[in-house]
Amino acid sequence: MKNILFVASECVPFVKTGGLADVVGSLPKVLDKEYYDCRVIVPMYSFINQKWKDLMEYKTHFYMDFNWNSYYVGVMECVYDGVHFYFIDNQDFFTCDKAYAGMPYDIGRFAFFSKAALSILPSIGFRPDIIHCHDWQTGLIPVYLNDSFQANEFYRGIKSIMTIHNLKFQGIWDVKTMKDIVGLPDYYFTPDKMEFNGDGNMLKGGLVYANAITTVSSTYAEEIKMPYYGEGLDGLMRARQNDLRGIVNGIDYDEWNPATDKLIANPFDVENFRKEKVKNKTALQADIGLEVDPKAMVIGIVSRLTDQKGFDLIAYVMDELCQDAVQFAVLGTGEERYENMFRHFAWKYGGRVSAQIYYNDALAHKIYAGCDAFLMPSQFEPCGLSQLISLRYGTLPIVRETGGLKDTVIPYNEFEGTGTGFSFTNYNAHEMMGIVRYAEKVYYDDKREWNKMVERAMRTDYSWPASALQYQELYDWLIG
């Protein structure tokens, strides 16, 4: 039996701000339980819903030296979906109304969390072969493991993996403050270790000291070796390229299943979508104020409305696209200028553009099920989950070829009759508009080909078990 420990700042169903939580919540339960005992450690945030707190049991507590003080470390445990979850309890750090408080507070909170996650292991009676760390919040774990914890035999030989979910976030603050808080000697704050443009960088520490590095798609693993995507760490990524691999995230095929989805108007599957899927479209149109027309092509967008997601491209050509025979269903929140842009177009093109500027899980399901295509022109996208859900619901993705979008959406080839969606290469508004119009042409002029593509899309497998096999391979390789 191989012991694997996940350590992360968020995890479904307890706390979620993004895709990181889905990975940490979904992957442990699909690893082969015959060979892997996988457990998870997350912070005990005060805002965690009471129904989850009621499932937790007090395990132990002790005091730990950190930042020139002695701090209480409480450990709560809960078994959910067959996986052991441990929650690190400390009111000074985790009494809050959201997971992230911003800098510099988060440096102290997650440095404490990283040290505590290692410190609780002997008292919970679990010695991992591998500690799988996620994002910058756990970047100090491989560093601590290399440092003071080596004095204790219990920790010697434990391997670590660092997974990058989004390289944009690195945990950077000035060296003096960081050194003081994290309690590491000067030795670690040099350019070949944690020093970064004169500051300290927690993620960089993890990337230097982890035994292996993964990120959430093969294309993103290649992209981050280049300056454009590397966020200043491309040199380190090139230096560690032999230890770096990309594994695409999965989605929960129970939660996202058009045949059993209770949140959509009309269930359908790959056998009957030609007749049944359209009923979701007309229900969606009626629901969000679009003109009810089963024949109209509807393009969906479910997203954070930020630069990263390519909304500046949409802003350039939205007026032109609204001259076409298409409707847009938009759901999400984010930067004010994009929220207002969609409100403006919904006002200007009433009945053809619907802007729902909030987030609602049930409506997201209805958009994935009811639209014909899904637009995702991201500037960069480490993995992306929306295109995987779209494929599952037979809503053809229109994406830019970057990161996980390039790895998971096969562009339509009319000569070979292949593909599961549409894609464009350059980050350019008119190139995007060209591919949207090409998709419109196929939709209206060649419905048979469109439906074959929908069928191929619905048959692709991006469930978690497929990704889990690749992680298992990595664990076996690392443990040897």
pLDDT tens, position by position, 101-156: 988 899 999 999 999 999 999 999 999 999 999 999 999 999 999 999 999 999 99
Label residue 54 by pLDDT band (50, 70, 90).
very high
Report d(CA 452, CA 446) in Å as an integer: 10
Nearest-10 Cα torsion for 426, 431, 437, 443: -10
The answer to whether the beta carbons of residues 396 and 453 sit under 8 Å apart is: yes
The answer to whether the beta carbons of residues 248 and 216 sit under 8 Å apart is: yes
Closest residue by Cα to residue 70 from 79, 62, 78: 62
User: How many residues does the structure list for the chain?
Assistant: 480
Taking 90 as the threshold, does the pLDDT of residue 18 lie above it? no
Closest residue by Cα to residue 436 from 306, 307, 282, 322: 322
The answer to whether the beta carbons of residues 380 and 401 sit under 8 Å apart is: no
DSSP 8-class letter at 98: S
Average pLDDT over residues 182-202: 95
Average pLDDT over residues 1-29: 93
Nearest-10 Cα torsion for 338, 344, 350, 356: 40
Among the four given CATH numbers 3.40.50.300, 3.40.50.2000, 1.10.3210.10, 1.10.1200.10, the one describing domain 273-461: 3.40.50.2000
Report d(CA 109, CA 320) in Å as an integer: 48
Interval 385-427: pLDDT, tens:
999 999 999 999 999 999 999 999 999 999 999 999 999 999 9
139, 159, 201, 243 from 169: Cα distances, Å: 11, 24, 10, 21
Phi, psi of 149, deg, nearest 5 = -70, -15
Average pLDDT over residues 227-256: 94
Distance between terminal CA atoms of the chain?
13
Closest residue by Cα to residue 120 from 2, 207, 1, 7: 7
Cα maximum dimension of the chain: 70
Taking 90 as the threshold, does the pLDDT of residue 19 lie above it? no
Q: Which helix (H) or strand (E) holds 424?
A: strand 422-424
Taking 90 as the threshold, does the pLDDT of residue 375 lie above it? yes
Report d(CA 66, CA 93) in Å as an integer: 12
The answer to whether the beta carbons of residues 223 and 357 sit under 8 Å apart is: no
Q: Is the dihedral of CA 40, 43, 44, 46 positive or negative?
A: negative
Residue ranges of alpha helices (H) inside 252-385 are 273-288, 311-321, 336-348, 361-370
Query: What pLDDT does 363 receive?
Result: 96
Query: What pLDDT does 17 receive?
Result: 84
Q: Tell me the sheet residues that pair with 424.
A: 400
**Mean of per-residue pLDDT scores for the chain:** 96
DSSP 8-class letter at 295: T
Taking 90 as the threshold, does the pLDDT of residue 480 lie above it? no
Residue ranges of alpha helices (H) inside 210-301 are 218-223, 227-230, 234-239, 273-288
Share of the chain above pLDDT 90, in %: 96
The answer to whether the beta carbons of residues 313 and 378 sit under 8 Å apart is: no
Query: What pLDDT does 112 receive?
Result: 98
The answer to whether the beta carbons of residues 9 and 110 sit under 8 Å apart is: yes
Report d(CA 272, CA 295) in Å as an integer: 18
Average pLDDT over residues 334-351: 96
The answer to whether the beta carbons of residues 367 and 404 sit under 8 Å apart is: no
Of residues 288 and 16, more confidently modeled: 288
Residue 176 has which token pair? 């003096």
Label residue 456 by pLDDT band (50, 70, 90).
very high
* CATH 3.40.50.2000, the chain: domain bounds: 2-250+465-479, 273-461
Q: Which helix (H) or strand (E) holds 110?
A: helix 105-119
Give one word for 374, left, alpha or beta, with left for phi > 0 and alpha for psi -120 to 50: beta
Taking 90 as the threshold, does the pLDDT of residue 163 lie above it? yes
Average pLDDT over residues 249-275: 95
CATH number of 2-250+465-479: 3.40.50.2000
